[in-house]
Chains A and B, each alone.
Chain A
Amino acid sequence: KQEVTQIPAALSVPEGENLVLNCSFTDSAIYNLQWFRQDPGKGLTSLLLIQSSQREQTSGRLNASLDKSSGRSTLYIAASQPGDSATYLCAVQGGSEKLVFGKGTKLTVNP
């Protein structure tokens, strides 16, 4: 059974800092990995999708890497801003259509 773990559970940083969120998964037989953002009381917003054949994806200040063989992904956020404050969720898709999610990392960026 696939299990996804996200570390740390919560992170508080000053504005402008670069930061890394970590995601690990137990079964390396995945098709893709997605990073989502969730704001309080809102649904999930897809940030980046990395296919299993890819090593990384970039969008603006966000960069996600994937090491499928070791079961790890990182989300790098450059020059963090208060508007980046949210919960970040990692999810993997294996042989079925469903996504398996981690519990998330709650990020607070202080002005």
Chain B
Amino acid sequence: GAGVSQTPSNKVTEKGKYVELRCDPISGHTALYWYRQSLGQGPEFLIYFQGTGAADDSGLPNDRFFAVRPEGSVSTLKIQRTERGDSAVYLCASSLYGTSGRVADTQYFGPGTRLTVL
């Protein structure tokens, strides 16, 4: 499997619980992105990692959302005190360089994690 993988594929939780969503990027890709897609909408940017550091977290909706990429490969998106409005498909993508468009750098997406907050 050479593509981006995400686990779990589906997650059902109760309001107020904590959840973790995992992303395994394509091997060797330095850039990793998280997006959130609500029903009938296009994906919306959450956060971008270049290596281990979060280069842009401007899309995180509030401080209940946090993401890490400690070794520059696998990333985990963490959501505290989940709310019903957090229900969406969370998509992860990776790209080889992530160099602000200096290189035409296709983002490759995983299948997503469907989060349902009851």
Query: Is B1 positioned at the interface, with any CB of A under 8 Å from its CB?
Result: no
Contact A101 B98 (CB under 8 A): no
Chain A's interface size range is 20 to 34
A-B contact count (CB 8 A): 68
Q: Which A residues touch B111, using CB under 8 A?
A: 41-43
Contact A46 B108 (CB under 8 A): yes
Query: Is B104 positioned at the interface, with any CB of A under 8 Å from its CB?
Result: yes
Q: Which of the candidate stretches A14-22, A59-67, A89-97 sits at the interface with the other chain? A: A89-97
Contact B56 A96 (CB under 8 A): yes
Q: Which A residues touch B8, using CB under 8 A?
A: none
Q: Which B residues touch A97, using CB under 8 A?
A: 31, 33, 48, 50, 55-56, 98, 100
Interface residues of B in 21-74 (CB under 8 A from A): 31, 33, 35, 40-45, 48, 50, 55-56, 59
Contact A103 B43 (CB under 8 A): no
- Interchain CA distance A51-B102 in the complex, whole Å: 10
Chain A minimum-CB-distance residue to B47: A98
Contact A32 B101 (CB under 8 A): yes
- 1/0 contact string of A44-80 vs chain B (CB within 8 Å): 1110010110000000000000000000000000000
Chain B positions within 8 Å of A, measured between CB atoms, are 4, 31, 33, 35, 40-45, 48, 50, 55-56, 59, 91, 93, 98, 100-101, 104, 106-112
